[in-house]
Structure 1
Amino acid sequence: MTMPQSGLHTHPDATTEDSGVIELATEAEAVAGTDDERAVTPESMQAWGTSKIALHRATLSSNHTVQGGTQIVMPFSVLNTEIGSASDVSLNSSGEMVFARSGLYQLRYGTSVSGVHGGIYLEMKAHAADNTLLRNRGVTSGLADSSENLQPQFVDFLWMPTGGRITCEVAFHGNGGAVCSMARTELSVMRIAD
């Protein structure tokens, strides 16, 4: 890029060694990442980051109650996209989180629970589009009495393929009369690499 003379002074192109004039990259050029002659601004760098990183939170919109000695699948009913494209992750009619974009994701799963003399087992299952089990991860917590609220939580990293899906289940190991209430359950997924 050669700039016209301004008075008697010329404006050389910038290089890695010398200062000079440089053209700014557009957001599209910053996201593409293939241009080595233009500079990025904080705004175009944010566009690049948003194209690579995404954060989605799936939650249950209502309480679930589980009788002692039973196990249920907990369908997600609300999905919020905080960073990135909302089309990357969706909920299907069964309440499973479905991935339209493959990548390395950080998974964070937790719930607020209360119950009577039992244990709660929270389980996250990730499947590929062909139903191959990719991950089966869970966390167990003991519940002392009905006034205790716990937040069992785990963090995991997983490569999710396009079409992969995640389901969550809960098992309550208590006597038949014991009841466990799931006050709030949330699964957060953050894409950290393509």
Structure 2
Amino acid sequence: MAPEAPVVGNQFMAPCSVDLTIVPKMMTISACTFVVMDANDNIVFKVGKFMSPLAPRILLDAAATPIVSFHKKSMSLHSTRKVYRGDSKDSRDLLFTVKKSLFNTTLNVFLASNTKKEHCDFKIRGNWSEKSCTIYSGTSSNVIAQMHRRHRLGRTALGNDQFVVTVFPHVDYAFIITLIVILEEISEQGQMIGRAAG
């Protein structure tokens, strides 16, 4: 498969597949909701949230430097998220937009350069509750990353509800992790709406 162009940065691309383990809901004083580790259990990313109900979530590196922030668009039928570089919300720093399809569970991703949005640049299909999803390039069948649940002994301190994202070679893994977190956020939002309606 031809290399994908980086979405967040070249430093987040590798010539081989990368397996990243995501440990959800690590609630700490810093309001970290996810920790992402490599195959050697080194922390690669943290996902945090500013201390405000309307604040965006933010992807941080291991040194707590903001990489991207994702903002929920209010009053959106498509559960839209806009993702910006660092902790910016300047239109010049917009990287991509994620929209949920009205008719199924697919999430469509549009890069900032795709202003017409006639076709998506990436799409996500899967089930968050099953911790299973696949990310495709554009409207093609080319898979660039997959997520699946993993139960492993020896990480009880971090929690057992872990899952692994396999990012294919030459694919921006910071971008992929951001998409996975947005999938979780939109799924949680849908469940809350469903409970409220019931």
Q: What TM-score results when the alignment is normalised by the length of structure 1?
A: 0.26
**Which structure has the greater CA radius of gyration?**
1
Q: Which has the higher strand share?
A: 1
State the TM-score, normalized to the length of structure 2. Answer: 0.26
